[in-house]
Amino acid sequence: MAVTACQGLGFVVSLIGIAGVIAATCMDQWSTQDLYNNPVTAVFNYQGLWRSCVRESSGFTECRGYFTLLGLPAMLQAVRALMIVGIILGAISLLVSIFALKCIRIGSMEDSAKAKMTLTSGVMFIIAGLCAIAGVSVFANMLVTNFWMSTANMYTGLGGMVQTVQTRYTFGSALFVGWVAGGLTLIGGVMMCIACRGLVPEESNYKTVSYHASGHNVAYRTGGFKASTGFGPSTKNKKIYEGGAHTEDEGQSQPSKYDYV
């Protein structure tokens, strides 16, 4: 019961995380305009991975997509790639984990097969979460670098007494959604990997082979020839008498002198 609950909870947490990663990738508020000491408040700018938008004080919003690929910064393209890879891995993991759920029976699938599928989906969830967290962190680092470079260039001339108007960008809401979603996906993957250990059958049947040590205890008849070696599981039990060695079948079929005593 605990294994089923752990597996189901891991699946739900991972599902929420992948949904959050998709939402963060599609959002436009990856970077928002910093309004601190900004004299222009009638226009508010914000940017995403796929387009940049301008919102006026009247409530009108206009967005324009990035109609170029080679003209974009390399860091932005890397963030795009990481988020897309995370979404693809998460979608495949969800599909695999659905068939791996213990509460769902598909044909005569054994628990060992479900354990392998659960482990595979858990590892893929972990990789997807790491891709999302890495993508958001790279974009945040790029924002921090550009913010401080813009701040250093704002004051020029006359010993820094003249302030130039320059647009600075800070963290947007999509970054926090991406961090939380990546963390949830990572946690869900870890829970799936933990549930995998409980799905492995505890009783394992091993084929055993009996071992017989080699020995020199060979029974001989009184005539001097060897009767039998006595090796192997199919060899019949022997009873050794004073006069020689005979098997039980021989003792029953052929009368000996001890039968009349």
Name the pLDDT band for 225 (thresholds 50, 70, 90): very low
More confident residue, 223 or 173: 173
254 domain residue, yes or no? no
The predicted model gives 59-70 an average pLDDT of 85
Q: Is the pLDDT of residue 89 over 90?
A: yes
Among 66-75, 149-158, 220-229, top mean pLDDT goes to 66-75
Name the pLDDT band for 151 (thresholds 50, 70, 90): low
48 domain residue, yes or no? no
- pLDDT computed for residue 3 by the predictor: 78
What's the sign of the alpha-carbon dihedral 96, 97, 100, 103? Answer: negative
- pLDDT computed for residue 157 by the predictor: 45
Name the pLDDT band for 229 (thresholds 50, 70, 90): very low
- Mean pLDDT score of the chain: 76
Q: Is the pLDDT of residue 247 over 70?
A: no
Q: Is the pLDDT of residue 13 over 50?
A: yes
52 domain residue, yes or no? no
DSSP symbol at 53: E
- pLDDT computed for residue 224 by the predictor: 47
- pLDDT computed for residue 165 by the predictor: 53
Question: What domain count does the chain have?
Answer: 1
Q: What whole-number distance in Å separates Cα of residue 256 and Cα of residue 150? A: 113
Could you tell me the CATH number of the domain that includes residue 145?
1.20.140.150
Q: Is the pLDDT of residue 173 over 60?
A: yes
- pLDDT computed for residue 36 by the predictor: 74
- pLDDT computed for residue 166 by the predictor: 64
143 domain residue, yes or no? yes
44 domain residue, yes or no? no
| Amino acid in position 57 | S
The tokens 């900004």 sit on which residue?
A: 38
Contact (Cβ atoms closer than 8 angstroms) between residue 48 and residue 14 = no
- pLDDT computed for residue 236 by the predictor: 43
The predicted model gives 159-187 an average pLDDT of 81
8 domain residue, yes or no? yes
The tokens 């039980």 sit on which residue?
A: 248
134 domain residue, yes or no? yes
59 domain residue, yes or no? no
Contact (Cβ atoms closer than 8 angstroms) between residue 132 and residue 21 = yes
Is the model's pTM score more than 0.95? no
- pLDDT computed for residue 71 by the predictor: 82
Q: What domain range is 127 assigned to? A: 1-30+73-154+167-198
Q: Which of 74, 54, 45, 65 is nearest to 139 (CA)?
A: 74
- pLDDT computed for residue 42 by the predictor: 75
Contact (Cβ atoms closer than 8 angstroms) between residue 172 and residue 32 = yes
